[in-house]
């Protein structure tokens, strides 16, 4: 066992977070996200039974966000015409604020299909059981 590693982070995920280098990206995907098809060329970690916020909170405790880009945290934009509320985004912004001095300014949005394209290039996709819609979030790794 290791000290200071949140219990929710599996050995597999800790290994992947350690392997990731500066500017590599990790996607925390909601239950509707096509993780396996998008993740054909990357690591896919299943965390069934968990929601994105609890995983995000744990990752942000050990994962530096990139300081060389303006928005190292990306949310999937709601499609025009979709009448979907995204209260989970406020939780994400609070968690980022607790772990990065830029706070909410570090969070941006990416158009849905562009998010998919960028997810295909991610180092890792974490598949969760998150039920909230548009709850996908992408983090870009920084340096210590």
Angle, helices 11-19/52-62, rounded to nearest 10 degrees? 50
Torsion of CA 144, 9, 15, 13, to 10 degrees: -110
Residue corresponding to tokens 């706070």: 103
Q: Which two tokens stand for residue 129?
A: 């059981």
- Catalytic, 116? Answer yes
Given the residues 24, 30, 66, 100, select the one marked as catalytic: 66
Q: Give the angle subtended at the CA of 139 by the CAs of 135 and 144, to the nearest 5°.
A: 150
Given the residues 30, 41, 48, 116, select the one marked as catalytic: 116
- Catalytic, 50? Answer no
Is residue 63 within 8 A of residue 56, CB to CB? The reply is: no
| CA atoms of 125 and 87, how far apart (whole Å) | 22
- Catalytic, 43? Answer no
Catalytic residues: 22, 66, 116
């Amino acid at each position: 066992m290791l000290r200071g590693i949140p219990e929710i982070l599996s050995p597999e995920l800790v290994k992947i977070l350690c392997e990731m280098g500066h500017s590599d990206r990790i996607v925390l995907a909601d239950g509707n996200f096509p993780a396996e098809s998008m993740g054909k060329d990357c690591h896919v970690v299943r965390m069934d039974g968990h929601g994105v916020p609890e995983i995000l909170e744990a990752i942000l405790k050990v994962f530096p966000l990139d300081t060389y880009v303006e928005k190292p945290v990306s949310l999937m934009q709601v499609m025009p015409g979709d009448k979907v509320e995204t209260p989970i985004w406020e939780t994400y912004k609070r968690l980022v604020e607790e772990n990065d001095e830029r706070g909410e300014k570090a969070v941006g949005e990416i158009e849905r299909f562009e998010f998919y394209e960028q997810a295909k290039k991610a180092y890792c996709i974490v598949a969760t059981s998150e039920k909230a819609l548009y709850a996908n979030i992408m983090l870009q790794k920084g340096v210590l």
